[in-house]
Amino acid sequence: MAENILVVGGGPAGLNAAVMLAELGVNVSLVERDSFLGGNPKKFKYKFLFPDMQPADNVIGELIKKAETGGNIKVYYSSEISDFKENGKKFDVTIKTADKNELKTFDSVIVSTGFEHFDPARDAKYSYQLFDDVIDIKDLERMMGEDNFVRPSNGQPPKNVAFILCVGSRDRHVGNQYCSRVCCTVSVKQAIELREHFPACEVYIFYMDIRTYGFFEDLYWKAMEEHDVQIVKGRIAEITSGPNNTVVCKGEDTLLRGPFEIPFDMVVLASGMEGGPQSSEISKKLGIGLDEHGFLKPENVTLSPFKSNRDGVFLAGACTGPKAISDSITEGAAAAMNAYTYAVKNK
């Protein structure tokens, strides 16, 4: 009889885990809290992905198609785990869907519940939700995905746009000391897209450090050399209203100008990634560790980043910390391999 494996969360990590397990002949139950698969990239309609600007559909759409048509994968939409019990080496799990509860026994479990976007309204200095023209990278991603690429306040094309990095990351005030890893690259990517869309629009990026790590650095150089994006060192201290329906960014240019107050048509906040309420919920429900950053805690961050501290429960994707889609997909495969091995050994 085939193995039964549960995957919780249908983002890039969970999708890839499910698809790989199904290819091995495993019966996969994929439980997704939303009414659709694809995770954050789908929810916020990412259009083109860094690093190579390929259409998101090539990646996310492809994975969803495989999961929905590949057989062997039973997808539970708008569902969650309502009860979780150990049963020898196996697990008795109740899956709660919109209209019923289903009890199933699984040989192993993969948790891929992902991340939440930091809500910039939590940091008052950015005036998010106070001014229509202050948005964040996920809002811009969605606006671009919907081909609605204009100033929210008046529907006009912007004359100048500021990106502000590290919003909700690297800041004790909001409780997040860590770096969210992808927001530098997302911002640089979006800056390029803005310049391509509106060649007359000036684009500034205000940074403390540009962390376009590894090959992502190519995009950063491209933004400067081919798209004339202005890169200014200094975090923004305050955003306030300016003349002619603008928003003013106040800060210190720590290398060149000293104090500045620059009016912009639009400000884009590079909000970071958080473990979200789902991480602590799933940690409690499944009895697996939560780390001090609010993400799920691997048994050993270096040796086995895809293993939880509980035998038979594996981790994949952004639920263990900020990361790019490629890393999430890689971890989905690693967790699938480990969950499969565990299931086969204990049958």
Partner 1 sequence: MEYNEKGVSIVPSEFKKEIFEEARKDFRYEEYVRGCLNCGVCTGGCPPHRFFDFSPRIVLQNMKSKDPELIWTMMDEYIWACFQCFTCAMICPFLNSPGGIIAILREIAVRRGFESARKVLKPYSRVLLKLTAYGNQLSPDMIQPDFFPDWGPTIGYASTDLAVKRKAIPMPTLQVTNLAWDVAPETMKELYEIFDESGVFKIIESVDPSLYEIIQDIVDDVRSS
Ligand X SMILES: Cc1cc2nc3c(=O)[nH]c(=O)nc-3n(C[C@H](O)[C@H](O)[C@H](O)COP(=O)(O)OP(=O)(O)OC[C@H]3O[C@@H](n4cnc5c(N)ncnc54)[C@H](O)[C@@H]3O)c2cc1C
Establish if 272 lies at the interface with ligand SF4 (CB under 6 A): yes
Q: Per the structure block, which two tokens stand in for 192?
A: 């390029």
Region binding ligand SF4 by CB under 6 A among candidate stretches 36-44, 173-181, 259-267, 287-295: 173-181
Is the distance from CB of 334 to CB of 323 less than 8 angstroms?
A: no
Binding partner selected for residue 234 from partner 1, ligand X, ligand SF4, none, CB under the kind-specific 5 to 8 Å limit:
partner 1
Establish if 108 lies at the interface with ligand SF4 (CB under 6 A): no
Is the distance from CB of 21 to CB of 28 less than 8 angstroms?
A: yes
Establish if 181 lies at the interface with ligand SF4 (CB under 6 A): yes
Q: Which residues of 173-205 are buried (b: 16+ CB within 10 A; e: fewer)?
A: ebebebbbbbbbbbbbbbbbbbbeebeeebbbb
Establish if 267 lies at the interface with ligand X (CB under 6 A): no
The residue written with tokens 């697996």 in the block is: 288
Q: Which one-letter DSSP state was computed for residue 65? A: H
Region binding ligand SF4 by CB under 6 A among candidate stretches 80-88, 124-132, 165-173, 304-312: 165-173
User: Is the peptide bond between 41 and the residue preceding it cis, with omega within 30 degrees of 0?
Assistant: no
Establish if 171 lies at the interface with partner 1 (CB under 8 A): yes
**Cα separation, 117 vs 68, whole angstroms:** 26
Residue 32 vs 274, nearer CB to ligand SF4 = 274
Residue type, position 326, single letter: S
Establish if 264 lies at the interface with ligand X (CB under 6 A): no
* Helix (H) / strand (E) containing 24: none
Establish if 209 lies at the interface with ligand SF4 (CB under 6 A): yes
Establish if 14 lies at the interface with ligand X (CB under 6 A): yes
Residue type, position 284, single letter: K
Is the distance from CB of 188 to CB of 219 less than 8 angstroms?
A: yes
**Cα separation, 184 vs 169, whole angstroms:** 11
Region binding ligand X by CB under 6 A among candidate stretches 133-141, 142-150, 165-173, 300-308: 133-141
Residue 62 vs 261, nearer CB to ligand X = 62
Q: Per the structure block, which two tokens stand in for 229?
A: 């994006």
- From residue 277 to residue 316, the character string flagging contacts with ligand X as x (rule: CB under 6 A) and all else as - is -x---x----------------------------------
Binding partner selected for residue 125 from ligand SF4, partner 1, ligand X, none, CB under the kind-specific 5 to 8 Å limit:
partner 1
Length of the chain: 347
Residue 64 vs 210, nearer CB to partner 1 = 210
Footprint on this chain of partner 1 (rule: CB under 8 A): 125, 166, 170-173, 208-209, 233-238, 250-254, 258-259
